Chain A
Amino acid sequence: MKILSKILIPLLTLMFSAFTSLLSAQTIGVSIPAATHGWAGGLNFHAQETKKRLETANPGLKIIIVTANSASEQANDLEDLVAIYSIDALVILPFESAPLTGPVRNLKRRDIFVTVVDRGLSEPGLQDVYVAGNNSEMGRVSAEYIKEALNGTGDIVVLRGMPTVIDEQRFDGFMAAIEGSNINVLDHQYANWNRDDGFTVMQDFLARFPKIDAVWAQDDDIAIGVIQAVRQARRQDELFIVGGGGMKDIVKRVMDGDRLTPVDVLYPPSMISTAMELTALKFISDTPIEGEYILGSPLITKDNAEDYYFPDSPF
């Protein structure tokens, strides 16, 4: 595979780019993390869909998607995008902010249009367009719902992701929003954004606390594990669960009016589509697009769930 991508693909694409440059096509490179978990799977799905849509609608536009398993692999990808595909624009969801700031700065020096998605770079002003979700807003929206549903009083447990900036922002946003109310966080533990740990941690919470009014699972994969643990303990009538992300299984439950998961909070992997569409606009129209776009984290309820349900997406 490595040999293939190192020799064959460059050769082929050299021929290709020679051909396409004759037609004066514009090339957009898209660099994202590989599909190693649910949310990233959704990200890859939406990137591929958007590529198809944009290329069909605009024959002069070429989109190259590369996926990486680590920050250093992503830095290599960026070099390849410039050297092999001579891209005109880059859409990047950085693995980590600091290690990718330098590589992106190098691209910027070559006058490549840069769109950064979700995770900002360490140096301000490098990007032309910034598209991101809002993690602390996601925590706040979840907290507001739980406060309202419990009338400001109750005992809850929190399952967190992994100790990263994203998790901190969500958690801090949540805690800030419940401050001053009588919502009591019994305990919070990491569930590593996966179903198995969601199940295990929730089993232990259920064994430890005789009364739980609500669960903030923060992520839909964790929420799936929590649901199973609650069912096993037959305590589905005493509590409800708020996940996050917008996974189709959970959105479906919300749509069906499941009492256990009355709402979900969106953190859309389709933000990559927003970024790609905006970047494409740069080349196919005169629309000014430079700036920052912060997507909201709307509450998905029974009434609007249909708008957020993508049955074909892997997430």
Chain B
Amino acid sequence: MNFMPRIDLKTAGPFIALVVIFVIGILVNDAFLSTGNLSNILARSSFIGIVAIGATFVITAGGIDLSVGSMAAFISGCMILLMNTLMGSIDSMVAIILLALLASIGIGAVAGLINGLLTTKAKIEAFIVTLGTMGIYRSLVTYMADGGTLSLNFTIGDVYSEVYYGTLLGLPYPVWVFLTVAIIGYVLLNKTVFGRHCFAVGSNENVARYSAINVDRVKTATYVLQGICVSIATIIYVPRLGSASGQTGILWELEAIAAVIIGGTVLKGGYGRIWGTVVGALILTLIGNILNLTDVVSNYLNGAVQGIIVIIAVYLQRGAWRRD
């Protein structure tokens, strides 16, 4: 591989993997390239993608957040309960939905703030804090649903479902939201002081502190950003099936972390890449999609195929990373 320009492989690794998987998809089944399937893939990857963009900040700044999946379930549950309750008192469906969106962002930001403050002020390892909140949110949603499933009122569900199923210029709304969040995330991480501080804190907290960076504030801010990203993902998730249960968002945290790492962000912090994360989320969704489009691979081996592809994708860019 020495003859290859090294900068290329490092940044292009995830993109090459994406193209390879894409070609495999085309070879596996003609239906892969149909507009319906492609727009399904994009819309589907937007949940994990948006969550993973938040996770890129957290991981770049040297943290980790395991609570995102259950946080998504909890916020979904709160939104559904709120909308069902407001049904009686407010006539305008759009007003109810807008209130639910505001509440969602609020809950997400506060949940992120709690994770952040417990990590920075209470000095508890992020892994433990978020493992704890992960369990808390998951059981709260199970409790709210009485062990069953919370369902959104049908009348309001019909209006709200447009947010997931509607399209603009041929692309589903979730894809536009994903793209917008990615662009904002890119600017924030690469073009602002805050972004540079994230890199610095993740590389070496002490050096960052001596450089007069308010480390605690930067780290807390990344968790708040993560919480807001989770709530945005939830806002486009709820209208899809109009329900939330203890099963909602299961393993999203691991998929988000995987997307971030596939994309070239370093797990121990100090370096992050938003577009890599976007590609990582697309790769994860594509693998699942392609496995559903073929029966060449036994069902029982789906997990193994996913594991192998994730490892290969990361190896592709690490091979170059190590020589840096």
| Number of A-B pairs, beta carbon distance below 8 Å | 90
Beta-carbon contact of A35 and B40 below 8 Å: no
Q: Which residue of A lies closest to B285 (CB)?
A: A200
Q: Which residue of A lies closest to B146 (CB)?
A: A314
In the complex, which residues of chain B have a beta carbon less than 8 angstroms from the beta carbon of A22?
none
Beta-carbon contact of A41 and B241 below 8 Å: no
- Give 18 CB contacts A-B under 8 Å: A35-B146, A35-B246, A36-B142, A36-B246, A45-B147, A187-B295, A194-B250, A195-B245, A195-B247, A204-B37, A204-B292, A205-B292, A206-B36, A208-B29, A208-B31, A249-B151, A314-B146, A314-B149
In the complex, which residues of chain A have a beta carbon less than 8 angstroms from the beta carbon of B3?
none
In the complex, which residues of chain B have a beta carbon less than 8 angstroms from the beta carbon of A208?
29, 31, 292-293
Beta-carbon contact of A199 and B240 below 8 Å: yes
In the complex, which residues of chain B have a beta carbon less than 8 angstroms from the beta carbon of A207?
31-32, 34, 36-37, 40, 293
Binding site for B on A (CB under 8 A): 34-38, 40-42, 44-45, 160, 163, 187-190, 194-196, 199-201, 203-208, 221, 224-225, 228, 232-233, 249, 313-315
Q: Which residue of A lies closest to B289 (CB)?
A: A204
Complex Cα gap A228–B44 (Å) = 14
Complex Cα gap A190–B297 (Å) = 13
Beta-carbon contact of B293 and A204 below 8 Å: yes
Beta-carbon contact of B292 and A37 below 8 Å: no
Binding site for A on B (CB under 8 A): 29, 31-32, 34, 36-37, 40, 44, 142, 145-149, 151, 165, 240-241, 243, 245-248, 250, 288-289, 292-293, 295, 299-300, 302
Complex Cα gap A41–B243 (Å) = 15
Beta-carbon contact of B148 and A41 below 8 Å: yes
Beta-carbon contact of A38 and B148 below 8 Å: yes
Extra 14 A-B pairs, beta carbons < 8 Å, given A35-B246, A189-B292, A195-B243: A36-B246, A36-B247, A38-B245, A41-B149, A163-B299, A195-B245, A196-B241, A199-B240, A204-B40, A207-B37, A208-B29, A224-B243, A225-B241, A228-B241
In the complex, which residues of chain B have a beta carbon less than 8 angstroms from the beta carbon of A45?
146-148
Beta-carbon contact of B240 and A228 below 8 Å: yes
Complex Cα gap A301–B197 (Å) = 63
